[in-house]
Structure 1
Amino acid sequence: MQAMSRSVWLTIDIGNSTIKIGLFAEDRTLATVTESSVEEALTRITTWNTQTPPCRIGLCNVVPQQSEVLISKIAEFTDAPIFEVNSHAIFPIRLDYTPPENLGPDRLAAACAAWYPGGTSQIIIDAGTAITIDVVRADGSFLGGVIMPSPTLSNRALADYTAKLPNVSLTPPEGSFGTSTVEALQHGLIYGMIDGVLGTIARIEQFLDSPSVITLTGGWYQILAEHIPRAQINRNLVLHGIRLLMQFNPPPE
């Protein structure tokens, strides 16, 4: 095996639809990429390992089967210690969530990255296959959140569980309502997401009764950002969260 680069960390975010990979040198981002399959991710990781072998690997996953395959394959060409984000790790935030082990590792990583080093309440929106909206108080208390289907999931469900509604292209429609079945579905799917997210933000901010920062990530971030102009965009929020949690959870001596 090649000599490791002592300051280089590899981070992997295994989502429902894609796999994001990041290479970090301390606080500096060297490279990030999004792959669509385990095979593509392994090819990328193998290439990076040949060029700049990482000394540590961090992993966050919501698809356990893919995680098992990746870990076993990675172990074939590196003995770099692997840290997996889970509820038993050390966090800069406090989890007021029951039971904590049911909290998705991607939500944990994103919340930590958005909040740290603290001081301001955070609303974290990860608009992926499932849309999660989580809340962290200024003091670091993770209060919980909201989970809703994305337009992708809702589109599939309507096509699968109704007799005549088709799958439609998920492009933002014009106007206030549709004048055909396809347009009506597009309005419902896209603006259902937008209105659902905006309504949730309003309820959360009323509950917090204090200024908050909104951080937005995930595949649907661009459409949502048009309707949440004050949102901060971080396309690689989970990767940054994994890197941060690796700092809080050093490998055993």
Structure 2
Amino acid sequence: MILVFDVGNTNIVLGLYKDNDLIESWRIATDKDKSSDEYGILIHQLFQYSGRNLEDVEDVIMSSVVPNIMYSLEHSIRKVFNIEPLVVGPGVKTGMDIKYDNPKQVGADRIVNAVSAFEKYGGPLIIVDFGTATTFCAISPKGEYLGGTIAPGIKISSDALFQRAAKLPRVELVKPGKVICKNTVNSMQAGIIYGYVGLVEYIIKKMTRELKQQDVKVIATGGLSTLIASETKHIHIVDKTLTLDGLKIIYTRNKEERKEKIATEIELREI
């Protein structure tokens, strides 16, 4: 089995794959202050809770947008599984041509999503990831990563409104059903959610024009993707496992080289 880690600013999502099937997934809070031992205990508990055996994990792959958590997390994986995790970054084969001015600046999660979406749906594509930030990524018909847009996430926008306006309360992110609202809570919910739908639709339309392609598919992923997608016809597919599947795809593309590298390391240790 292959264990994948999608390390985001708010959550770490773990997925356990048997062959190409996702058989378990877990979500834990990203905590920069946790030690490697604390993360190790969490991983033990997740496996125990689901009735899975740690010994069944053959390898681990990770992508991260939180550099200062990686030392603890990688160290915990070494202790729990006795495995050096494969971390998506320079030197890892993705199979995707990155057309960014500086490819190293593209977040690993965006590349993983792009690899996954092109493999699963073909191109041209727009990928919208509703995370801590909302990212929009454009993929060419040939599978090239062309670039994209980064916007504040819907939760960040909601929290900013609560924190900076003294008389406005924190509200639950649910649709009020209308925009002519009769109370403050519903008024805020309408502004946050329907206003965000407008942002998403405008960027998708503008990005589609810039792609200059027919039949551009729009794929959404991330925690609030279903909420926003339910209010717009511009999002065609909601794929909640897009990032996890992308990690598994990238692992498969690096599997043989990784096996050779591990075999070489074992031989050197035995000399």
Please indicate the TM-score interval, normalised by the length of the shorter structure: 0.7 to 0.9
Q: Could you tell me whether the CA contact under 8 Å between 2:95 and 2:115 is conserved in 1?
A: yes
TM-score, normalization: structure 1? 0.87
Count of aligned pairs: 246
Partner Cα separation in structure 1 for residue 245 and residue 230 of structure 2: 24
2:84 and 2:178 map into 1 onto residues whose CA distance is 53
The structure whose residues are more often helix, as a share, is 2
Shift of 1:118: 7.2
**Deviations for 1:116-157, whole angstroms, at most 9, x for unmatched residues?**
277421111111221111110111111111111122101211
Q: Does 1:217 align with 2:221?
A: yes
Q: Measure the CA separation in 2 of the matches of 1:65 and 1:42.
A: 19
Between the two structures, name the one with larger relative contact order (CA 8 Å, sep ≥ 6): 1
What fraction of aligned residue pairs are identical, expressed as a percent? 25
Residue aligning to 1:43:
44
- Output the CA distance in 1 between the equivalents of 2:122 and 2:157: 36
SS of the residue corresponding to residue 53 of structure 2 reads: helix
1:173 to 173, 176, 187: 176
Q: Secondary structure at the match of 1:204?
A: helix
What is the match of residue 116 of structure 2?
Answer: 113
Give 1:214's aligned amino acid: V
Which consecutive unaligned segments of at least 5 residues does structure 2 have? 32-38, 264-271
Deviations 1:27-50, CA, capped at 9 Å, x for gaps: 222222222356474234664773
TM-score calculated relative to the size of structure 2:
0.82
Looking at structure 2, the residues matched to 41 and 61 of structure 1 have their Cα atoms a distance apart, in angstroms, of 18
Q: Secondary structure at the match of 1:134?
A: strand
1:245 to 241, 244, 250: 250
Shift of the alpha carbon at 1:91? 1.7
Alignment match, 1:235: 240
Contact in 1 for aligned 2:9/2:30 (Cα 8 Å): no
**What's 1:5 paired with?**
none
Q: CA RMSD in A?
A: 2.2
Distance in 1 of aligned mates of 2:179 and 2:81 = 55
1:109-148 equivalences in 2 (<5 Å): 109-116=112-119, 119-148=122-151
Q: CA offsets, 1:25-73, max 9 Å, x none?
A: 2322222222235647423466477355312100111222332212111
Pick the structure with greater CA Rg: 2
**Distance change in 2, residues 1:95/1:116 (3 Å):** same
